[in-house]
Amino acid sequence: MRTTSGGLCGSDLGFFQGATTPEGTLKESMFGEPGFPLHEITGQVVASAHPAHAVGDQVVGWATRADGVAEFVVTSGDEVAGYRSGLKPEIAVLLQPLACVLHAVGTMGDVRGKNVAVLGLGPIGLLFAHVLRARGAGHIVGVDRVRRDGIGPRFGVDEVVWASTGRWARDAILGPDLVVECIGHQAGTLNDAIRVAAFGGQIYFFGVADEATQSVNLRQLQRKNLTLRTGLTLDRRRMLAEADDYLAEHPELTSDYVTDVLHVVEIDAAFRRALNPVPEQAKVVVRMP
């Protein structure tokens, strides 16, 4: 593929800052490769051995080796899909994180009427709120250390909390039926989710754990009869197609979600902007020449 745009994901940011993963994992082997770290991409197919993709097709999905800043990438044909004509690449790239969120919500069962807490109102948290609202969730509270009371309601958040998850969890009175932890990277915020969830509730951990082994409050998880879910997005071509359909049903996302588009030569500035979000900022995207 010749890349045409790339979206910056929270899982990329630590690598930009020089973090490494436990020895022997896939991304550990990618360090030093041109184009790393970026995996949310759109592009034009220039060669294909996959029956679903022909030369010239415009596709969106995953850069298999997270090398999406490169001019050309080789990726699995099962990890990309075509998208509707008329979408600019820098907008179409949102289909990749949307596919991930749709897959995660699909594992949660019936969320209608459930009271929800979304921990972290970054780009992924905002999408979770939007999809859960569309699926009929009840009251949605969103928690973030960046003030999100302007942008949160546009994605379906009923109550925006400007605080750390630890402070909010300590003071919360009513526990939500469903907690989506989409900050990742450390066990602290997951333990906040366990602490605040209602008895018999469900927690979905969405994000990247920086350490392979972390300390989780298993006793509280067990005594509250909680269900903890996590996982990776499966059947990616199908989920990308579902994301395309969802975007057609909710065209407001085409204007609300991608808030910052920079040229790829400004990639350093793009990463720094993603690392230091302002209140009205959602997705940061780089546009390729």
Q: How far apart are CA 235 and CA 78, in angstroms?
A: 8
DSSP-based three-state secondary structure for 35: coil
Q: Is the Cβ–Cβ distance between 123 and 146 less than 8 Å?
A: no
pLDDT score of 23 more than 60: no
Q: Which residue has the tokens 């051995």?
A: 49
Work out whether strand 283-287 and strand 258-263 pair parallel, antiparallel, or are unpaired.
parallel
Residues 157 and 187: their CA atoms lie apart, in Å, by 24
**What ranges in 34-115 are assigned the alpha helix state H?**
89-92, 95-106
CATH number of 98-229: 3.40.50.720
The label of the residue with tokens 């969405």 reads 206
pLDDT band at 27; cut points 50, 70, 90: low
Q: Between these two residues, 18 and 58, which has the higher pLDDT value?
A: 58
pLDDT level of residue 213 (50, 70, 90 thresholds)? confident
Q: What is the pLDDT of residue 289?
A: 82
CA dihedral 149, 155, 158, 161 (to 10 degrees): -40
Number of alpha carbons in the 13 Å side-chain half-sphere of residue 51: 0
Which position has the higher pLDDT, 173 or 280?
A: 280
Q: Say what the pLDDT of residue 168 is.
A: 95
Hey, which residues does 7 pair with through a beta bridge?
Answer: 40, 285
Report the SS3 class of residue 152.
helix
- Domain map of the chain by residue range? 2-94+257-287, 98-229
263 SS3 class: strand
Element (H, E) at 288: none
Task: With CA atoms as reference, report the closest residue to 165 among 140, 136, 196.
Answer: 196
Residue 36 · residue 65 · CB < 8 Å: yes
pLDDT value at 24 more than 60: no
pLDDT above 90 coverage of the chain, percent: 83
Contacts of 273 (CB under 8 A, 6+ apart): 260, 262, 281, 284
Pick the CATH number of 2-94+257-287 from 2.40.40.20, 3.60.20.40, 3.40.50.10540, 3.90.180.10: 3.90.180.10
Average pLDDT of span 125-139: 98
Q: What is the pLDDT of residues 227-285, one digit of tens each?
A: 999 999 999 999 999 999 999 999 999 999 999 999 999 999 999 999 999 999 999 99
pLDDT of the residue at 207: 82
Q: What is residue 210's predicted lDDT score, i.e. its pLDDT?
A: 73
Tell me if 2-94+257-287 shares its fold with 98-229.
no
- pLDDT category at 22 given cuts 50, 70, 90 is low
Burial string for 14-35 (b: 16+ CB within 10 Å, else e) reads bbbeeeebeeeeebeebeeeeb
pTM recorded for the entire structure: 0.95
pLDDT at 267: 95
Strands 159-162 and 140-144, sheet pairing: parallel
